[in-house]
Structure 1
């Protein structure tokens, strides 16, 4: 009987944890290494003086992806996470005075009520947005069925008769921007903002992402917005528990300094190979051997800091042509007294929507580095989880998580007091627009995070908040792939690879690692649950066949 496959997973974000759990279920001997003292990565938790804050993602989109990831592991997510549908889903705050006679308004769980709200703002917008959401649903299903669950090793396998039939629509969705598609739907500036704000969750702006991402409107306006009671970190805790049950050796406080690679000549199967990963070395000098290394660390950090240049697919000079997307100013504020003026999710939109994005992203690629600036008034997002979870703050208090899209430049905010001054200004903006003029004076606990913190704590490229933005050139098969071209037994998971950024995408990415090892090149999800020990069909030299993929499936 052959020894189990030794796998080292670098990084304990949601992608790393899920990958480790899946491979351990397959029979591998898996060690998960996390630099910090707690798992989660960007999806972290901060608790202080009775306040509880999720420090990263706060929107629970694509519930079926979460359900499927747990199902692969033989679990029901409902046994681990208590989901509640939010109503209202979110509240929109236009800049005061920008649009006469338009007050803040809610997007609710009832589509008919939303249509009536939209009609009251712009006659005919209710029907127009209803059609838009239906088309967004079609785009979502096409993406889910053909493009999200594939490694793109065989792009032809994503091309079905349906994709061919809809080639004209797909071409239009890829060659026009989200903003252009929205402009064809409604004319009111705030309704356009309501349909385009999702681009921030893709690390970009509606003026830069392809119109395919209309699919995001299917998620909030079609499926609704959910929240895991207890916070987003309960998902991380649940996956960590499952990983431990599957036998993963989880090591926190383990800082990986290098992925060590032995030189290897190219071969017929791997014509670009320069080496083979033999394990990882920690900052304290400890070496952990591995047959397979999976990096869930920031892709830029992996390629430029953990790998020698000779073995990197994307050495330092290759990153000059890539877009990091947005960073963020994060403010976690514990507030005395009630804040009914804010919903669980609230979005604040400035009148100069294009100018806001131009300030934080630059007018174009060539002048990106020189054109970035911090907006005086910002289009920003506020999460008040105490609207749903009273125990996220002490009695008589509320918690606020503020995300301000910010330039991806770790030099911004490093002068003493600079970040705090920005945080003060944005808290005052929220208070003024929402009708809470004393908001800042009621803050009793506060933590501020900026690009330099993200660069230091998350090894984030240029201090970006999410990873490289989802422009067309950095989406789907044009995004860096799951497997290293030069080191075949080095794989990647997380926001720096396919399918992209966000918790659902990272969960799918973990499954793509499994598919890569199994040699499964289809565009469909793996059937669930995966059979325990499914990696036992591994060949001695560490590659897998489609027959092994079939054996992984339940009869």
Structure 2
């Protein structure tokens, strides 16, 4: 008889693990508390506009290809991928912006016009970043974080110094122009920590950016969720929505069942892809591997204030992905990590998917997604949301030299309180636990419970870390561990 596995949550990591486990022969059922699947990668539709609620950047296409290849499929079997050209644009002031092309040669030319001799330095920097990518994404991140020895290879031994320097030091030793420095420090923000706290080895994110490029799945990132759902169902996975898991039952030191909407559901193995901290609160205290003190000491990736806005006209002078770095980056970073508070002048990011994808908005109109990174755990009120929306839209008008406010059809917001309510997110974090040196690989919360047999975890608070590609990998890693130990 097949062993039964109950999976909590239906985000990228849960769906990935479900596919691998079903392929191996387990009887897999996913329990999702919300009405729709996808976890943080859900979709919002209103008045003919469509928005990705969560992730909007599609990087590391090779990781997605590797996932689907494991099932003799390819992404194109399920969705159309569009390479963005340009990849994105960064605003530093009025008529002061840098456009990042979709290939390294053009990016080098852009750098050279801003800082003489920087193109040669950039080529060398990206060559090293590519080498790190080959080691990290093709090897290291596919290890389960059970032992420090997983990191010890001939290749990592040659790069040991990069684990004790930082991205910030590395970039600033090579480039002098402040704008170029900010562009090169930007990709590691996806890992959830300041560039000054992120090891140099993580420059592989720069290769993901400049070397591999930025993509958009037609109809949005939710297309990937739907693809994984289709694959999971093809493999026999059952998916139940509006199924709130209230407790994980333990018998004789082993996970034995979950309580879903008040009903006991027995399972041979329990796997949670929900927020790790929340997942452990579903256990009696004696079965939890990590204390509240442990979580409180950890460096968490930011939360976010997000807005989903419908405009009744096309917005000029912006690209599909637009970054607004016209204020002090370091001060905003301090407000997130060092002295958590609402930032006076926030950096922000805007995505206009309708620049690429006509399905995102009615003809002649524009869909806009705006994101302000924030410290997790901040006080979140409607008044504060309104204040910050006005701040960024006023700046957007000024920087892009157009009137926008009167063209807003509607706006919806999502912030700390919503991350907690919708995803049981610890302190309302948006991206999980940051990948700092002391929170990397075997130093992260474990995929396999240290206290309860048959209990496993997956997702952005465990191995390998924040981001969509790592979530796919996390699902594979935990599936391999389950196969190994059960």
TM-score of the aligned structures, taking structure 1 as reference length:
0.85
Q: Deviation digits for residues 147-185 of structure 1, max 9, x if unmatched?
A: 100013354355333333x1xx2x222112211111112
How many angstroms apart in 2 are the aligned matches of 1:427 and 1:191? 25
Q: Any unmatched runs of 5+ in structure 2?
A: none
2:451 pairs with one of 486, 493, 496: 486
Indicate yes or no: 2:398 matched with 1:432: yes
Equivalent residue number for residue 306 of structure 1 = 282
Equivalent residue number for residue 48 of structure 2 = 50
How many angstroms apart in 1 are the aligned matches of 2:418 and 2:155? 46
Equivalent residue number for residue 279 of structure 1 = 257
Indicate yes or no: 2:135 matched with 1:142: yes
Equivalent residue number for residue 64 of structure 1 = 62
1:289 pairs with one of 257, 261, 266: 266
**Contact 1:146/1:158 (CA < 8 Å) preserved in 2?**
no
Shift of 1:89: 0.5
Equivalent residue number for residue 112 of structure 1 = 105
Shift of 1:410: 4.3
Q: How many residue pairs end up in the alignment?
A: 486
2:190 pairs with one of 179, 186, 201: 201
- Secondary structure of the residue aligned to 1:207 is helix
**Contact 1:324/1:462 (CA < 8 Å) preserved in 2?**
no
Shift of 1:515: 1.6
**Contact 1:480/1:498 (CA < 8 Å) preserved in 2?**
yes
Shift of 1:443: 1.1
How many angstroms apart in 2 are the aligned matches of 1:9 and 1:258? 13
Equivalent residue number for residue 232 of structure 2 = 243
**Contact 2:6/2:269 (CA < 8 Å) preserved in 1?**
yes
- Secondary structure of the residue aligned to 1:88 is coil
How many angstroms apart in 2 are the aligned matches of 1:356 and 1:110? 30
How many angstroms apart in 2 are the aligned matches of 1:296 and 1:463? 16
Indicate yes or no: 2:394 matched with 1:394: no
Shift of 1:329: 0.6
How many angstroms apart in 2 are the aligned matches of 1:314 and 1:350? 40
Equivalent residue number for residue 261 of structure 1 = 250
**Contact 1:410/1:452 (CA < 8 Å) preserved in 2?**
no
1:68-467 mapped onto 2 (5 Å cutoff): 68-96=66-94, 103-164=96-157, 166=158, 169=159, 171-263=160-252, 275-282=253-260, 284-303=261-280, 305-362=281-338, 371-411=339-379, 413-414=380-381, 416-436=382-402, 438-467=403-432
**Contact 1:15/1:493 (CA < 8 Å) preserved in 2?**
yes
Rg larger in structure: 1
TM-score of the aligned structures, taking structure 2 as reference length:
0.97
Q: Deviation digits for residues 48-95 of structure 1, max 9, x if unmatched?
A: 000000011111111111111112123222111211111100011013
Equivalent residue number for residue 518 of structure 1 = 483
Q: Deviation digits for residues 111-143 of structure 1, max 9, x if unmatched?
A: 222212111111111111121111111111111
- Secondary structure of the residue aligned to 1:84 is strand
RMSD (CA atoms): 1.5
**Contact 1:46/1:54 (CA < 8 Å) preserved in 2?**
yes
**Contact 1:423/1:448 (CA < 8 Å) preserved in 2?**
no
Change beyond 3 A, Cα 1:74–1:141? same
**Contact 2:457/2:478 (CA < 8 Å) preserved in 1?**
yes
How many angstroms apart in 1 are the aligned matches of 2:172 and 2:5? 49
**Contact 1:200/1:405 (CA < 8 Å) preserved in 2?**
no
**Contact 1:360/1:406 (CA < 8 Å) preserved in 2?**
yes
Shift of 1:376: 2.6
Q: Any unmatched runs of 5+ in structure 1?
A: 97-101, 264-274, 363-370, 520-542, 545-555
How many angstroms apart in 2 are the aligned matches of 1:347 and 1:281? 44
